[in-house]
Every structure is written in C-alpha cells, then in structure tokens.
Amino acid sequence: MLILSLLTACSLQKQPGEGAAAQTEEDGTGSTLAENGAGEEGQAFADTVENEKSGTGGRPALIGSMEESGEISVEPCVEPYAIQPDLSNIYNLEQFYLEGEIVDKLSGNGFVVCGSAGNEFFEVYEMNRYSNIPNFVTVDSLMHTYHLYFSFLLKNIEKDYLSESIGKLSLKMLDNSAALYEQFKGSAWESAAARNVAFFSVGAKLLGEEPEVKAYVQDVVGQELERIKQADGIYMSGITGDEEDYTQYIPRGYYAGDQKLEQYFQAMMWYGRIHFTQESEEMDRSALLITKALTEDAQAYELWESIYAVTSFFAGASDDLSVCEYAPAAHKAYGGDLSSEALISDEEAFKQFHAMTAELPLPQINSIPIKDGEDNVIPGFRFMGQRFTIDAAIMQKLIYSNVKENGTGNKRMLPDVLDVPAALGSDMALSILEEQGAFEYAGYEENMEKLKSFLMQENDAMWSASLYAGWLNTLRPLLVPKKEGYPIFMQSEEWTKKNLECFAGSFTELKHDTVLYTKQVIAEMGGDYIEEIDSRGYVEPEPYVYARFAALADQTAKGLKTYGMLGKEEEENLSILYEIADRLWKISNKELKDEVLSAEEYDFIQCYGGNLEHFWYETVKDETTDMVSTQECPAAVVVDIATDPNGSVLEAATGNPSIIYVVVKVDGKIKIAKGSVYSFYQFSWPLEERLTDAKWRQMLGIQADENGNHNYDLSIPKPDWTGSYRYKYAWE
C-alpha cells in the first residue's frame, strides 16, 4: 500500500514521460527548441525544467508575484538633469571629500563605487543618519537582508528538526538493511544487501550516532569515514566502486564551526552524493533494496518524505532518481510482490526492473568525476539526491565536454558566474564573456543561444518552484538595461555592469546558503538626529525587484507556516521584510513618476539602516552570549560552485560591502546620496582546500587568523569588468 502512495507523494520528482509540454514551448519567434537545433540535450534540459516547474507534491505551491497579478505597471518619466564636471551644482557637495578620478566617474556616470562601507550593509546607513547624509537605498542591501534571514531560518530548521529526523531515519534504515542482509545472505542479493548496511552505517556515524558496525562491513565503513575526515582528494569509493570527490565533505557555508551542523552537513552530503549507477546490476540491486527497506517501513518513509519536502521548499526538487521513481518501477516489475522470497526467486522480474530503470529520465547536472569521453551524466539512484537548479543546468551546458576545446587546445573546465545572467538574457554579461574568450570554445556560442532561447519564455510556475527559484527570479529585472525615463545614472552601461555585480553578489549568497543541497557541476576530468541640512534620500528605483521580493517574503512565511515550522517571532520578521519591500516598491514607483515623496516616506529612507540592523541582529544573536559586533559576524562569504576534477574549484565570494555614491534629484535638488553595494569576487582555488567563510575572512584581513594576526591577501582581485565604475584606493 505504501508503494502505491508514492505515485502521489513523490510528484516533486521527475517521472518518466513528463515534460512533453516543453516540446511545444516556443522560443519567442514561433519555433520550438527542437526546430532551432536544440537536439536531444536541449530537449532534455527543457524537459527537466518543465518537470521542476510542474511538481508540487507535498510542498505547498508558491503564490504568484505582485506583477503577475497585475498590480504593478512601470512607466518611468524622470526629467533629465545635468551634472557639472566639477560637481559645482551638487547641493550637498561640502559633505564629502572627493577629488580626481572619483569626481570624474561621479560626474561622468552619475555614480561611483569605492572603498568599504563597513563589515555589514546597515553600517553606512546608520552613519549617514547621524551625519545628515542622504541615504541611497540599494537593491543589494535588501537582497543581502533576505540572505541573512533565509540562512537563519534554514539553519534553525536543520538544527531543531532535520538533524534529528535524519538521525532517526539513518538508524531505522540501518536496522532495516541489516535485517534484509540476513534474509538475503547466500543469495545473488547478498553483496547488494551488505553494501546498504555499510552505506547507512557511514551515514549514521557521520551524524554522531553509535550504531554497531557489522563485522562484514567494518573495513569499508572505516575506510569511508577516514576519507571523509581527511577530505583531501578524489578516490575510489568502497561503497560504489566509482570515484568520489571527498573534498565535498569539508563543512562550509554556515555549517562550519558548529558540531551539530557539521555532522548534518556531512551526512546529508553523503546521502546526496553517493550514486548507485543504473548500468551496474549490483548497484541497481542495492537501489531496489533501499527502496524496499524504505517503503515497507511507514515511519521511515514518513521521515524521508518530511525531510525531502522541507528541503525541496527551500532548494528545489532532486535532479536525481530516487525511491520516487524506483518504487513504481519495482511495483510494476514484480507485480506488487516485493517480498524477499520473490526477489530471490524471480530473476526475470529483476531483469525487467533493470530494463525499466534504464528508461528513467536522466539527470541534467553531473556532480561526480567522469573520464574524458564518458557520458556527461550517468543515470542512477541516490537516497536523498541533491537538487536541480536552473543556474547549475546552465553552467553544465557551458563547460567541457558540452563545449569543446578552443583554438589553443584549452578546455573550459570551470564556468563563469556571468554564464547565468547571460543565459537569462543579459547582453552585457554576454559581451563581457565574449571579450574574455568564452566564444572561442567550440560549441559555447551555440549552447548559449539554445539556453537563451528557452529561458526567454516566461513561465511563472518555473520561477515559483522553490524559494531558491524565487530568489533567482527576484534578481532577473536587474538584467534589463534601463532606458529613457529612468534617472540618468541608471541609463549608462556602467550601471548595467553595476547591476551585474549586484546579481553576482546575491547569487553568491544564494549558493552559499544552499551549498549542501544544490548540485554542483563538474567538468570531465541608534537615536534621534539633528536636522541641519536637507538629508532626504533616494531609493534605487527597481520596482519589479521589490515586488518580487515582497512576494518572496510572503511565500517564505506561508510555506513554513504550512509545515508548522514558523514561530510567531519569525512570522513577524518576515512580515516586516514584506512591508519594507512593499514600501520600497511604492516609493520607487513615485520616484519614476518624478513625484515628491511624503515626509513619512523620506523618514523611512532615513531610518532604513535600523531595519537592516534588526535583521542582522536577529541572525547573529545566538552566536555569542555577549554583545556581538559586525567584526565577529561580517557580511563576507565564500562558496565553491563548480569543480574541475583535475584539481580546482570555482569560488564565488563577497567581501565587505562597498560604498556607492550616486547623484540623485530630490524635490528639485541635485545631491549626492550614499549607500552600500556588493563587492564580488570569483577565482579558481585548489580542490582540496575548498574555502570556508572563516578562511576567506582571514584572507581579506577582516578577521584574525589562528595566531591573532590580520593579513590581507592582495593577490585576489575583483573581476576586471567591475573596474570601469569602481575607484580603487591605493591600499586596496
């Protein structure tokens, strides 16, 4: 009976035959992807996205955004204003000490980014308030605040609920697997059953449990645990016989430094990565026995489903096959009889099952080391597979061997963060990538065009499939160049690049917060102030972003409330986030109509830093019993987002937020407003030294190293494309 219920309960997963609707999707020119030469790989990508869109399963459907309900319409009509080359027509110029290149960029572009805004985004806004400097409220600061609260909510759910649930599930699956081993000992299923005992023994031990490790698996369990502990390279796994990247088990993100979270990280990474390849009958037997052990134990399956549903709400549906596909296939092959006797006696049924699993949908993202010339993705079973994300699928199509060598024989083993906004329609990102030589790799341009053709189609369900997708969707309006009617500082190419850095910085935080769950691509081998001057500020007018952000905050609250995982305090805080975004939406609409704001709205802008500080404090208040400072909990984070199995990873990172000065017009006065924006980095790094936040902050000199010294690593520059709108001080 439980197996039959999977047909409904697992609708989050990709099912055979799903995704047909994608075959008739148009690319905006009236032709289908297949007609444009997307071929089997392009169609597979479209099918996978379609499945991701359509699955709701046990997860509450996320609501549409404000703009989708027709509540937002933007018609910018800001009157142009001039900026004198020497800034002499700036109302509050005397509040700033500006000279040389800063003046040139500020007068030429209408804005400049430079220096450090402190360790956290709110600091500059609070300093502005006390100094009567107009605030420039940025999208960057709002998106960073969502990152803070997203990670806070997910971390608490993992510590208070998920870690205990996965511990109970591991022990139950270990007991069930050990019982099956006794039943299958002496049969063709013995080694498959023993493999599962070892698999769940490792998972339980990683969680800090102390199960009895059976004598017949002690060696392999000990070997796997030692390799996970060392986490220093790629080795052959004793469980699967395939190569496994043990550096992936280095706890990072917010997991590092907390024993309970580190244990949870390693166990979930284990369950998400260990791959029972379909082509091997032995591995398919193990997968079937795991399916049997899970589906014949109602309590175990309830634990599995609850863990999967909650993590899918945050990070999306699995890219891999699991019990959701294997249970129906087994049920059909064996006529509903999965008794041990039936499995032992009916080899023809197993052959039918093995043939059926070969026809199941392929994953779209490869996360395991494969040799040159092998298939890009290898079908198989994972117990708690890592998640499909649109960005990872994009990157997979733009690295070796989906793209081939360039003219000098080099291979594109690692992607670029700009691949994602380029595929989502950013001509600026595409131009930068072309300048950097991406188009020189055979097949890159063709694959990029196929991705753009598919992703240009608007499909609300795709972007509301998870909080992860909703976050990415919130950033998409930044990629649209701003034209006539917007403030002059937004109409330049430099602002378009600045928006790319905002996209990249927030994307880095998204990957950081979901590093455990999302599949990683791998290539082949305050107080009152005294009003002295007019300090009324300005909001970066991105109403589409604020509308989507408000919807995202609302979706977060409603989804967690449905799961019974939203406390009163968290509900109130998410309501505050919604209200902040809603007010920014209304203010930016008025700004784009060249309307003067109300006194209350100007006060909101002036006190904006206090709202940000509230959310920063909420996320760090449990870090220490004493008063915590931004020096101890800075904004800078790092995350590895792709792997070159030859020995390197692509790290994306943010440093201390930077200051942005913008020339704005407020109630007829041209003035300089000041805010905080992302400071984005990306670079390759040794695979065996995947960076943690602590190590990255030490490299930046933000935090002291183990010897108490502050050392700044000047060898890691910001991307070249950010230099045209940034001013670099001598000490940077």
pLDDT along the chain (732 residues), means of 10: 45 34 29 35 51 41 47 84 96 93 96 95 96 97 97 96 97 98 97 98 97 97 98 95 95 96 98 95 98 97 96 91 95 96 96 96 68 67 92 93 94 97 98 97 97 88 91 97 96 97 98 91 55 87 97 95 93 96 97 96 97 92 71 92 94 97 97 98 96 94 83 83 88 58
Buried b (16+ CB within 10 A) or exposed e, 441-476: bebbbebbbbbbbbbeeebebbbbbbbbbbbbbbbb
Buried b (16+ CB within 10 A) or exposed e, 497-519: bbbbbbbbbbbbbbbbbbbbbbb
Q: CA geometry: angle at 57 spanning 55 and 62, to 5°?
A: 70
The whole-number pLDDT of residue 23 equals 27
d(CA 422, CA 444): 12
Q: Which of 131, 130, 32, 22 is nearest to 528 (CA)?
A: 130
Q: What is the DSSP letter of 189?
A: T
Q: Which of 138, 135, 134 is nearest to 534 (CA)?
A: 134
Domain definitions of the chain by residue range = 150-374
d(CA 721, CA 711): 26
* Residue 125, H or E segment: helix 122-131
If one counts every other C-beta atom within 10 angstroms of the C-beta of residue 655, the result is 25
Q: Which of 129, 51, 117 is nearest to 459 (CA)?
A: 51
Query: Do strands 669-677 and 680-686 pair parallel, antiparallel, or not at all (unpaired)?
Result: unpaired
Is the separation of the CB atoms in 74 and 589 below 8 Å?
yes
Residue 596, sorted as left (phi over 0), alpha (psi -120 to 50) or beta, turns out to be beta
**Sheet of 726-727, strands arranged across:** 669-677, 658-666, 111-116, 726-727
Q: Which of 111, 165, 65 is nearest to 494 (CA)?
A: 111
Phi, psi of 277 (to 5 degrees): -60, 140
Name 486's bridge partners: 484
How many residues can be counted in the chain? 732
The whole-number pLDDT of residue 520 equals 84
d(CA 227, CA 219): 12
Name 522's bridge partners: 643
Phi, psi of 123 (to 5 degrees): -60, -45
Please list the alpha-helical segments (H only) found in 245-316. Answer: 259-273, 281-295, 298-315
Phi, psi of 7 (to 5 degrees): -60, -30
- Strand, helix or coil at 676? strand
The whole-number pLDDT of residue 53 equals 39
The whole-number pLDDT of residue 250 equals 97
What is the maximum span of the chain, computed from C-alpha positions, in angstroms?
A: 90
Q: Which of 61, 59, 60 is nearest to 10 (CA)?
A: 59
Q: How far is CA 513 from CA 155, 280, 337, 564, in A?
A: 9, 35, 42, 22
Those residues whose C-beta lies under 8 Å from the C-beta of residue 708, and which sit 6 or more positions away, are none
d(CA 583, CA 606): 13
Q: How far is CA 83 from CA 23, 87, 137, 530, 533, in A?
A: 52, 6, 21, 29, 20
DSSP 41-106: HHHHHHHHHHHHHH--TTSPPPPPPTGGGT-------PPP----TT-TT-TTGGG----THHHHHH
Packed helices 190-206 and 163-184: angle between N→C axes, nearest 10 degrees = 160
State the number of CA atoms in the 13 A half-sphere of 443 facing the CB.
16
d(CA 535, CA 115): 22
d(CA 216, CA 238): 13
The whole-number pLDDT of residue 7 equals 39
Q: CA geometry: angle at 43 spanning 39 and 46, to 5°?
A: 150
Chain mean position to CA 333: 38
If one counts every other C-beta atom within 10 angstroms of the C-beta of residue 299, the result is 10
